[in-house]
Amino acid sequence: MAARQGIFSKDTFQFFRDLKKNNHKDWMDAHRDRYQAAVVQPLKKLLEEMAPTVLDLDHRFETTGRRGANLSRINRDIRFAKDKTLYKTNMYLKFSAPLGGEMESGELYVGIAADSVTVGFRVYATPKRKQSPIALIAEPRLAKNPKWLAQQKAKLGRKYDSYWYSTVKGEWTKNSGWPTNETWPKLQGWIVRKKLSPAAALRASFPNDIAKIFRDVFPVLKTISLFD
């Protein structure tokens, strides 16, 4: 019996390296078929593989495969950006749950870039902090259990990286480490992740590796961004 092959190939990562060097429409138009074969189709296959695991964690997660809902867009929004490059040199598979209106839960995600793979959880204060899960769900629960943030650091800190964002004079600022009760009122986004090598994504065991990470970080997502 032939050994099961991995979902991704070396060309997935080579595509992003080549795109970084040739970030313009003519090159992208000439490599659309390659983009579909090396990036989009593997991500859709990974979505199919991961959907049962994600729905087992919470049935509200979006798994339909809609662009934007589960798959990130490679085109950059350059209308108000200083960086006018047209395309992102990474893509994400992500799972979140709609919570009503414009509010969404945090995301379980897999990020594929030119030289790395990241897997974990992230949440952002959208559409506005006062109307986000960070304020409406997390803060009341943290008030009831002030030790919770420190407990998550003790439980996950050795295996996972953590960083969070605040705004300083209107600019997003990255802060390394785990948020605390004192810094939480400034928090605009929080990421807990594990960084893997591209080789990890080439293995047949990659979906199982993702599932283990998702199960580890899901309790954090649930506590700070899902209603009971």
Q: What is the pTM of this model?
A: 0.94
Alpha-carbon span 96 to 94, nearest angstrom: 7
How far CA 27 is from CA of 22, 24, 30, 120, in Å, comes to 6, 6, 5, 32
pLDDT digits (tens, 9 = 90+) for 106-158: 999 999 999 999 999 999 998 899 999 999 999 999 999 999 999 999 999 99
Question: Which domains, from first to last, does the chain contain?
Answer: 10-225 (3.30.930.20)
β-sheet with 90-95: strand ranges across:
90-95, 107-113, 117-124, 189-196, 161-168, 171-176
pLDDT digits (tens, 9 = 90+) for 9-58: 999 999 999 999 999 999 999 999 999 999 999 999 999 999 999 999 99
Say whether pLDDT at 2 is over 60.
no
In this prediction, residue 4 carries a pLDDT of 64
